[in-house]
Structures are given as C-alpha cells and as structure tokens.
Structure 1
Amino acid sequence: MDLAPLALFLPACFALNMAPGPNNLLSVSNATRYGYRTSCLAGLGRLLAFAGMIALASAGLAVVLQTSELLFYGIKILGAAYLFYLAYQLWRADPRQVETATSKVGLWALARQEFLVAAGNPKAILIFTAFLPQFVVPGQPITAQFALLGAMFLALEWVAINAYAYMGLHMRRWFAEPKGKRLFNRCCAGLLSAAAAVLLTARRA
C-alpha cells in the first residue's frame, strides 16, 4: 500500500479514536472504579466488536445495515437502551462500596459491557463503511488493504483505551472520598444518558 494514503489516514483515524464517546467514557469510569489494568483489559471487548465491524465492511455486508431501515433503528434503540441501563447503574452505585474487578467473572462482565456498547452503535459500522474505503487505493488488493487499515485502526484504538484509562486512574485520586465518587458516578451517568439521547437522534447516512 502507498505511503501517501497512510500519511492521511493515521492522523484522521487517531482523531476518531480519541474523540469522546460512550466507549471512551466507559474506560474512564472503569479505571476510576476498578483500576487502570482492568479498564484496559476490558477494552479488548471493544476491539473485538470493532474487528467484527471492519470485517463486515470489508466483505461488503455493511450495505445491509445502510439499506435496512428496520435493522438500523433496531440496533440504535437497543444500543441507546443499554447506555441508559449503564447510566442507571452508575447513578445508583453505592460510593461507600469498595469495588474490585480482579476476578475473572468481573473482568469478563466489563469486557462484555465494552463489546455491547460498541456493537450497539450502528453509526460505528457506517464509519467503517464510509471512512476506511476513502483510503483504499484502486487497483490494489482490497482485502489486504482493509486488513492493514483495520489493524492500524485497532492499534490506535488500543492507544485511546489506555489514554482514557490513564485519565480515569488520575481521576480516581481526585474522587477518593464517597462524596466525590458519587459526584463522579453521576456525572458519568449523565454523560452516558446524553450519549444515548444523541444515538437515538442518529439517522442513516
């Protein structure tokens, strides 16, 4: 693959990865509640969802989502409902409870959360459908180019996961007291609810 498209792709892609969104907010919240390492490992669930979306876009199956209004709105409503559910959990969380996620079950649950939040956003697969093809060079193998661009996207997404988790780790020190924890949890709950509301207004491209 030529270097010129990659030189344009990398900064544009990284801007998408670092943009505040439900998954990045989840990384901050998880790091604040459970620690940096756990938050990063939970982010693997998000990478799995995005890898599946990239594979769908590469295979051309994403056109089904673009053309099926029922499927698009179904995924959108389910995704927004799950965000509202997470927001409710954070709002009701007991700040006096010492929360850990060192057990395998706890980590799997957090990774599943990341996966469902990513998979529940139909706009994500549309981004892969509309964004990645712009950097595919005509006349060269499509699958290989999608694989390379997808791998770069996932690598930069992993950087974003670590960056937001690191941010949450420092916020953990600021909100060490129960009153501060409650304030932070409810702020995150409000932001997740806002993200859900924005998702409900999303329309097909």
Structure 2
Amino acid sequence: MSIAWTLFVPACFALNLAPGPNNLLSLNNAARHGFAIATLAGGGRLLAFVGMLALAASGLALVLHTSAWSFLAIKLLGAGYLLWLALQLWRADAPSLLTDPRPSRPSLWRLSRQEFLVAAGNPKAILIFTAFLPQFVEPGQPLAAQFAQLGAAFLLLEWLAIALYSYAGLRLGRLLAGQRARRLFNRGCAALLGSAGLGLLLSRRPA
C-alpha cells in the first residue's frame, strides 16, 4: 500500500484541515477555554467518526446513499443544531457575564458533546468514509485490515488538525483580552457557524 499511502496522507490531511464547523468549534473553544480543554473536547468528534467508520466498514452507510429521507433527516437535525449553536455563541459573553469576577469553569463533557453532535449531524462526514477512503483500498488485499489502517490514519490526522486549530485559537485568545474584541470574535464565529448550518440545510444528497 506504499503508493496508496503516498496519495492518501496529503489528501486526507487536506480534508482534516478544511475549515468546517468542528474545526471552528476547536478554534473558538481554545480561544475561550485554553488549548488543553479544546484538544480534549475534540475527542467527542473523534468518537463520532469512529462510529461512522464502523458503519461504513459494515456497509450500513449505503442507507445514507440510497435513502433520501435518511439524508434529509440527518441534514435537518445537523443544520438545526449548528444554527442553535450559532445563536448561543452570538449571545455568549454578554456584558453582565464579562464583568463577573468568578467565571464558571468550562464543562469538558458539554464541549465534547457539542463536538460529537456537530460531527454526527453532518451527513457529508459519513460520505467521506464511503466515497473517499475506499479509493485507497487495494483489491485482492484483506479489505478489513486496509480499512482499519486507513481509518486509524484518518483519526490520527484529524486529532492533529484539532491540535493545530486549538493552538491557533489559543494564540487568538491572547489577542482577545478586551470585552469588545472577544464579543466580536464570538459573533464572527457565530456567523460562520450559522453560514455552515444554512449551507448544510441547502445541500443536496449526492447522486
């Protein structure tokens, strides 16, 4: 699989680094709560991807390809959750909260759950595992072992992307010490998340 890996790694990492909703969450979480919290919270995303990999490996993901209703249901849930997150982020850090001298500690469980739900609510994510990964599987070789190796590599590269976005968010957080700057940053992230939700809402099932 040497040739396949040479092509797979850069193509996969490009997908991992794409500025999607989950990477935006890592960026914002790091700016608000720090590098460690954002990186650990990204484990929720990885857990969702493990489930998608299992579905793709077992062939159950074909339902998503063939069923317009399944795609529509997941799309509506995912888009609705993204829009709800955008609203919460837009309203976050109101002046009354910013002046609170005892800010509450972030809930790692809550942030991990957000990462999980955003990843699980995006039907295009599972299509990556059913349309992208199989291109690098060599016929005639053990399929399960190859898929497991490719899936593990995808998760490792995804974790690296989480760390990179979290580091970028940490650096941004140091520049956002002022109340106005942090409010603008949160609202900018909210606008991007809302745009992602609308984009998901308007997306169509691949033919």
TM-score range, shorter chain: over 0.9
User: Per-residue deviation at 1:94?
Assistant: 2.0
After superposition, what is the alpha-carbon deviation per residue over 1:65-107, rounded to whole angstroms, capped at 9, x for unaligned? 1111111001001000000111011111125154532xxxx10
Corresponding letter in the other structure for 2:152:
A
Q: Show the counterpart of 1:203.
A: 204
For residues 127 and 142 of structure 1, the distance between their equivalents in structure 2, rounded to whole angstroms, comes to: 17
Corresponding letter in the other structure for 1:64:
V
SS at structure 2 position matched to 1:93: coil
For residues 204 and 93 of structure 2, the distance between their equivalents in structure 1, rounded to whole angstroms, comes to: 36
Q: Show the counterpart of 1:74.
A: 73
After superposition, what is the alpha-carbon deviation per residue over 1:34-91, rounded to whole angstroms, capped at 9, x for unaligned? 1110000000000000111111111111101111111100100100000011101111
Corresponding letter in the other structure for 2:90:
W
User: Per-residue deviation at 1:202?
Assistant: 1.4
Corresponding letter in the other structure for 1:162:
A
Q: Show the counterpart of 1:123.
A: 124
Q: What are the ranges of 5 or more consecutive residues in structure 2 without an aligned counterpart?
A: none
Q: Show the counterpart of 1:159.
A: 160
User: Per-residue deviation at 1:151?
Assistant: 0.1
Q: Show the counterpart of 1:19.
A: 18
Of 105, 115, 125, the residue aligned with 1:100 is: 105
For residues 132 and 22 of structure 1, the distance between their equivalents in structure 2, rounded to whole angstroms, comes to: 21
Q: Which runs of 4+ in 1 moved over 4 A?
A: none
SS at structure 1 position matched to 2:152: helix
For residues 135 and 202 of structure 2, the distance between their equivalents in structure 1, rounded to whole angstroms, comes to: 26
- The 5 Å alignment of 1:163-202 reads 163-202=164-203
Q: Show the counterpart of 1:85.
A: 84
For residues 58 and 47 of structure 1, the distance between their equivalents in structure 2, rounded to whole angstroms, comes to: 16
For residues 100 and 182 of structure 1, the distance between their equivalents in structure 2, rounded to whole angstroms, comes to: 19
For residues 65 and 202 of structure 2, the distance between their equivalents in structure 1, rounded to whole angstroms, comes to: 16
TM-score, structure 1 length as denominator? 0.95
Corresponding letter in the other structure for 1:173:
R
Q: Show the counterpart of 1:4.
A: 3
SS at structure 2 position matched to 1:82: helix
For residues 185 and 119 of structure 2, the distance between their equivalents in structure 1, rounded to whole angstroms, comes to: 22
For residues 7 and 189 of structure 1, the distance between their equivalents in structure 2, rounded to whole angstroms, comes to: 37
For residues 28 and 109 of structure 1, the distance between their equivalents in structure 2, rounded to whole angstroms, comes to: 16
After superposition, what is the alpha-carbon deviation per residue over 1:100-135, rounded to whole angstroms, capped at 9, x for unaligned? 32xxxx101100000000000001101110000000
- The 5 Å alignment of 1:22-41 reads 22-41=21-40
* Identity rate, percent: 62
For residues 71 and 180 of structure 1, the distance between their equivalents in structure 2, rounded to whole angstroms, comes to: 41
Corresponding letter in the other structure for 1:100:
R
Q: Could you tell me whether the CA contact under 8 Å between 1:123 and 1:202 is conserved in 2? A: no
Task: Figure out how many residues of one structure are paired with residues of the other and give that number.
Answer: 200
